[in-house]
Amino acid sequence: MAVRAPQVPTQSVNEERFHAISFSGKLDVGELLTGTPTITEINPASPSVLTITSKAVNTVALTVNGLTVPIGEAVQCKVVGAGMTPGVRYRILVVCSTDAGQIVDGEIRFTAA
């Protein structure tokens, strides 16, 4: 599997964008994400300015950082940041259960433009 450096996309304060994170590298062979992920803004955490909706495990193959992620191995969400400050890097914590009884976590990062 090819490995790519993480990308830090930008999001305009006027945009509503879908973001995704792959957990393929954290899952055992045949293991899948299950349930509804917990997704929270962690930086800057106060005051919270992001509205995060449509939190879900992927039900179709997705491309994340140029790599195809199979069904059940990524989490996606919609982010609205009307109160964001341009130039600030925002971090979102994503936590999800697996069908093997594990809990995995990761971060989505982007810079406000």
Q: What is the pLDDT of residues 45-94, one digit of tens each?
A: 667 789 999 999 999 999 988 899 999 999 999 999 888 889 999 999 99
- pLDDT confidence tier of residue 7, bands split at 50, 70 and 90: low
Q: CB 11: neighbour CB atoms within 10 A?
A: 19
> Could you tell me if residue 67 is inside a domain?
yes
Residue 27 makes CB contacts below 8 A (sequence gap 6+) with 33, 73, 98, 104
How many structural domains is the chain composed of?
Answer: 1
In a domain, 5, yes or no: no
Residue 65 is assigned to a structural domain of this protein: yes
pTM score: 0.88
Residue numbers of the domain that contains 102: 10-112
CATH number at residue 46: 2.60.40
